[in-house]
Amino acid sequence: MMKPYLVQAVTRPNGEQVLQTNPRPIRRVMSAEIARTMRAHMAAVAEYGFGSVVSEFVPGIVVGGKSGTAEHVPGARPHAWFIAIAPLAEPRYAVAVMVESGGEGSSVGAQLAGQILAAAFATE
């Protein structure tokens, strides 16, 4: 678990850096074995499971994901959600998408997560 922060860096117009925040671990939240198992399952979701659409937006990059569909009001469209990490072996990006009354997480949520990942990788 990493310590959250809002500002990574503050730089003056002349280029002088005023503040630099670096990622800092707080504590271990699960064993390495459990983490490997979770990544394997997340890889299956993004490769050939219900959320495989996420991978279509970042060809050549192994993505891990998990979809969800949350019913909230009888008869209403469910909330759609999807989480993704990429690249799976050494994640640099984590995405969480929640679309209120959006439908299925495996389609709507996964598509949006894939678009966000594509935009993130395009900045590299």
30-122 CATH, one of 3.40.120.10, 3.30.450.330, 3.40.50.1220, 3.30.70.260: 3.30.450.330
pLDDT (0 to 100) of residue 40: 93
Residue 114 · residue 54 · CB < 8 Å: yes
Tell me phi and psi for residue 70, to 5 degrees. -115, 115
**What residue segments make up the domains of the chain, in order of their start?**
30-122
Tens of pLDDT, residue by residue over 51-89, are 899 999 999 999 999 999 999 999 999 999 999 999 998
pLDDT (0 to 100) of residue 107: 85
